[in-house]
């Protein structure tokens, strides 16, 4: 039960950080014109998001794709599987990209 709770917390924190970072990316001009305190907070969210992304990739990604990661970030792992042969991993990468990542990034997040 504790492990499940920690995994759900990790997914939630990663998702929250991802949405904030995509918002910063979409509004680059606003970030450039932000106060120094706001910029510091944005960088803290960015660093926190990267840490959560790495943990998500190593824990949830390993469970979802049945393999140890070759990449540091979850998106890079999904992108690799999207280029691969038609397999369970490719279908899961398509699902993650279609439902979690691509709708919230300008352009498409998974390449």
Over the stretch 34-57, which tens digit does the pLDDT of each residue have?
Answer: 899 999 999 999 999 999 999 999
Q: What is the DSSP string of 24-92?
A: HHHTHHHHHTS-HHHHHHHHHHHHHHHHHHHHHIIIIIHHHHTS--SSSSHHHHHHHHHHS-SSHHHHH
Whether 86 is in a domain gets the answer yes
Whether 109 is in a domain gets the answer no
Residue matched to tokens 């998500």? 56
Whether 54 is in a domain gets the answer yes
Share of the chain above pLDDT 90, in %: 73
Whether 51 is in a domain gets the answer yes
Tokens of 7: 């995994």
Rounded to two decimals, the pTM is: 0.89
Residue 32: what pLDDT?
85
Residue 108: what pLDDT?
78
Whether 110 is in a domain gets the answer no
Whether 100 is in a domain gets the answer yes
Residue 40: what pLDDT?
93
Give every residue of the chain whose pLDDT is below 50, as ranges: none
Residue 97: what pLDDT?
92
Q: How many domains does the chain have?
A: 1
Residue 27: what pLDDT?
85
Domain with 18 in it: 2-104
From residue 48, give the alpha-carbon distance in Å to each of 44, 53, 64: 6, 9, 22
């Amino acid at each position: 039960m504790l492990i499940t709770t920690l995994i759900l917390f990790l997914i939630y924190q990663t998702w929250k950080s991802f949405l904030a970072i995509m918002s910063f990316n979409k509004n680059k001009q606003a970030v450039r014109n932000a106060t120094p305190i706001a910029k510091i907070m944005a960088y803290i969210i960015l660093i926190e998001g990267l840490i959560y992304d790495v943990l998500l990739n190593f824990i949830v990604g390993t469970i979802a794709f049945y393999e140890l990661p070759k990449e540091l970030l979850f998106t890079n792992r999904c992108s690799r599987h999207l280029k691969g042969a038609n397999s369970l991993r490719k279908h899961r990468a398509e699902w993650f990209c279609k439902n979690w990542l691509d709708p919230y990034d300008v352009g498409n997040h998974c390449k």
